[in-house]
Amino acid sequence: MEGTEQIAAVGRRKESVARVYLKAGTGKTLVNGRELVDYLGREVLVMQVREPLEVADCLGKFDIQATVCGGGIAGQAGALRLGIARALVQADEKLHGVLRSKGLLTRDPRMKERKKYGLAGRRKRFQFSKR
């Protein structure tokens, strides 16, 4: 990968969309202009986002710049994780098998279920009254 070449990928999870830009560098990660740890806040989510880099053994090799919108923090972390994994595959096709075997290239299809008419929520019903 060239020094100035930039790779773009998109990751999605729940209602969140992450646009990830990967560039050869020192391992700096910016999300919406802020450091990854400052943006996410929770160490578990930071570990989740860094998982594709650890599996691919690329932890200090790329600078990541990402813009994330929609959803909550956990959904955004999942979107970042998928975006980073897809960008790594574009950077090096040999990583596809490793990332696929760990389940990092699969988009999580679980979404919020819609509210149904005649019901209190998605599945909850109003109290039944016989008379």
Q: What's the Cα-to-Cα distance from 117 to each of 110, 123, 127, 128, 130, rounded to whole Å?
A: 21, 10, 15, 16, 21
CATH number, domain 6-101, options 3.40.50.720, 3.30.230.10, 3.30.200.20, 3.40.50.1220: 3.30.230.10
The pLDDT score that the predictor gives to residue 3 is 55
Strand ordering across the sheet containing 62-69: 6-13, 16-24, 62-69, 29-31, 34-35
Ranges of the chain with pLDDT below 70: 1-4
The predicted structure's pLDDT at residue 37: 93
96, with CB counted inside 10 A (0-12, 13-18, 19+), is middle
Instruction: List the chain domain ranges.
Output: 6-101
pLDDT of residue 5: 84
State CA 37 to chain mean position distance: 15
